[in-house]
A and B are shown apart, each in its own frame.
Chain A
Amino acid sequence: MFTDFFYTLKEKKVPVSITEWMALMEALSKGYISNLNDFYYLARAILVKSEAYYDQYDVAFQEYFKGIEAPPEIAEQILSWLRDPINKMLLSDEERALLDSMALDELLEELEKRLKEQTEQHDGGDYWIGRGGTSPFGHSGEHPGGIRMGGSGGGGSAMQIAEQRQFRNYRSDLTLDVRQIEVALKGLRRLDHTGPEDQLDLDKTIDATCRNAGELEFIWTRDRKNAVKLLLLMDAGGSMEPFAHLCSLLFSAAHSSTHFKDFQYYYFHNCVYDALYKDIERRDGVGTDHILRTLEPDYKVILVGDAWMATSELIDMYGAIYYYERNHKAGIVRLKQIAEHFTHCVWLNPEPPRYWNHPTVLTIGKVLPMFELTLDGLHQAIKKLIVKR
């Protein structure tokens, strides 16, 4: 039953397993389901294990169950909305003209089309039926839910809830906040038992002594500490301006993470040259050579930047954007030095990958593994940083 739905979910990248599918079948066989609405919640509760996948689930649900829901209900909604004089008053003349000129069938068709568009444009941003200022299907602000297709709150039918796609913002490929970054950075740890066995394990000692009928028996252990050291290099150049907030989030997350053995950070403009800077204004400089000499190769290095610059800035001697920098080694040479000195380096790019088709981005991507600065990208980057070589 519904086996294709399982594959639709897989196709939409919802991680579902056979175990969960069997659990759903068990629940279905017990007959707890009386309508599609129940099924929507039941299947979601059993199959989806993170709010990050709720949106993909909605999309898959919409696709699979399309046309099963009786359409008159929707038509009714729209009709009553059209009849509602209050709403009509809020529309501009042009919009009203558009609505009037559209037969109901057309309107529904148009709506259908919009819905389809929405499922296909994941990264479309604010474009949302009922909220977009230009959509004939609602008005933001004036009418809180737009055409909230199916009553208020939990009363809506499953298809309509799926269509609302209210979990879009929870998608892990979109959102980032300090906490999420902190959680992601926690993955960056390698617990080592270090030092001599000089810590008295009190609990185990007491236990062992008592089992020993009171004969003292000491249990010693080694200290367990995170051995990971982190070096964060951030581009503070002009083209990074739009991402300043995002970068500050990453920085404060890394800074407040107490679990690193050592954490160092430097800034650069566009590309790394002869010096790195302790401050964004680039007054307090430290020689790149000095850093390479003093930091051990086992530092995990995260570079953050858009990697987008004039080709000369990357590959030419004296190519630095500031003429007075007079770099004796080209930026790319410096980046190669970093990649060779440190065993684990990644580059995080706040620009989405569709903009990566630029000579400097591609060149840097060949030297340093590049990931997008989203939650997913960060997780992948951290996996890359933690693997043994």
Chain B
Amino acid sequence: MNKDGFDQFKGSQDYVTSEALRNAVNVAIALGRPLLVRGEPGTGKTLLAHSIARDLNKKLIVWNIKSTTKAQEGLYVYDTVQRLNDSRFGDKDVSDIKQYIKLGKLGQAFAAEEKVVLLIDEVDKADLEFPNDLLNELDEMSFYIPETYETINAVQRPIVVITSNAEKELPDAFLRRCIFHYIEFPDPSLMEEIVNVHFPKIKNNLLHEALTAFYSLRRIDNLRKKPSTSELIDWIQVLIASATPHEDISRQVPFAGTLLKKETDYDYFVNTYMKKRQASSAAANTSGPPQ
């Protein structure tokens, strides 16, 4: 990529990225469009925004979306209760409505003097109409407050990162305005890097054994929820804390409850998968450890 006038995002020290992701981030910054990130749970979608903010040394504004969140809340809230209270008991000038307009997260990002990173987390949690309600605001990076006859314009177009778990389909019109990136599940070598970032002093054979066990677990088709990166990190932490000898890890898979969070998955793993493996390893005992 050309570097001129281009905020180069390189990935911060504690966040390992792929080339494709870095490019997508830089494109989004250059074109001033929101970046929509999707991927399996636990692949670091949310952390991406934190990493961008740290790497480019910008302030991060987080807007967590819930099922009840309305688009309007992100822009501004008119605090009528406070105004009523002031009109009865306070000594403020209640005819000045401006002081009762509180900017939401999106409004704050627009009003900020410096370029900020705005994270709209889990956009698909909200109502189906939510993304559509924000179309114009994200496009023009401005909105109008009728109560005060004011227009809030973005001083600096913020870097907008939107994450989605694909719980609901996002409207096409919304998608057209975004830059899209799908974070793949990391392959073993990238995963090694990621684990190393979290546990710089981890022993090689422990890491190797843990990853082997982890990826063989992910290959089981019958699991309802496959273990993800964050579960692996937890698991490795347990393994280190418990000082499990590394040769036991892939053979016995201790503390599997850290990796498998669904009861049916755990049952399947203990009662079917492990038994099958033990049987096959007993059969192949003469020809070395099971794969």
Residues of chain A having any CB pair with chain B under 8 Å: 15, 17, 19-20, 23, 26-27, 30-34, 38, 41-42, 44-46, 48-51, 54, 152-155, 166, 170, 178, 183, 186-187, 206-207, 209-211, 213-214, 245, 252
Contacts and interface: CB of A to CB of B under 8 A. Distances in A.
Interface stretch (B17-25, B53-61, B235-243, B250-258): B17-25
A214 B27 CA distance: 51
30 contacts: A15-B172, A27-B30, A27-B31, A30-B2, A34-B1, A38-B1, A41-B19, A41-B27, A44-B20, A45-B20, A45-B179, A45-B180, A45-B181, A46-B27, A46-B31, A48-B180, A49-B175, A49-B180, A50-B38, A50-B182, A51-B182, A153-B189, A183-B166, A183-B167, A186-B168, A213-B84, A214-B84, A214-B87, A214-B88, A252-B224
A121 B267 CA distance: 38
A103 B23 CA distance: 39
A48 B187 CA distance: 22
B190 interface: yes
Given A32-B2, A32-B6, A154-B20, 15 more contacts: A26-B31, A31-B4, A33-B1, A34-B1, A46-B27, A48-B180, A153-B19, A153-B187, A153-B189, A166-B184, A178-B224, A209-B84, A210-B83, A214-B87, A252-B224
B92 interface: no
B197 to A, nearest CB: 16
A152 B193 CA distance: 14
Given A153-B190, A183-B167, A206-B80, A213 B19 contact: no
B1 A23 contact: no
Contacts of A214: 84, 87-88
B18 A153 contact: yes
Given A41-B24, A154-B18, A23 B31 contact: yes
Given A20-B176, A45-B181, A213 B87 contact: yes
Nearest to A52: B182
Contacts of B49: none
Contact of B27 (A45, A54, A152, A209): A45
B222 A45 contact: no
A152 B221 CA distance: 27
Interface in B194-211: none
Nearest to B193: A153
Contacts of B184: 166
Contacts of B4: 31
Interface in B153-180: 166-169, 172, 175-180
Contacts of A213: 84, 87
Interface string B3-23: 010100000000000111001
Contacts of A49: 36, 175-176, 178, 180
B279 interface: no
Nearest to A178: B224
Nearest to A252: B224
B23 A38 contact: yes
B174 to A, nearest CB: 9
Contacts of B27: 27, 32, 41-42, 45-46
Contacts of B105: none
Nearest to A19: B176
A210 B1 contact: no
A50 B180 contact: yes
Given A51-B182, A183-B166, A210-B81, A30 B30 contact: yes
Nearest to B165: A179
A375 B24 CA distance: 27
Nearest to B190: A153
Contacts of B88: 214
A186 B67 CA distance: 14
Nearest to A141: B291
Nearest to B84: A210
B45 interface: no
Nearest to B124: A183
A26 B88 CA distance: 55
Contacts of A152: 189
A46 B166 CA distance: 18
Contacts of B167: 183, 186
Nearest to B226: A177
Nearest to B166: A183
A241 to B, nearest CB: 16
A183 B177 CA distance: 23
Contacts of B87: 213-214
Contact of B20 (A17, A41, A210): A41
Contact of A154 (B19, B24, B28, B31): B19
A44 B24 CA distance: 9
B33 interface: yes
A206 B1 contact: no
A217 to B, nearest CB: 12
Contacts of B179: 45-46
A68 to B, nearest CB: 19
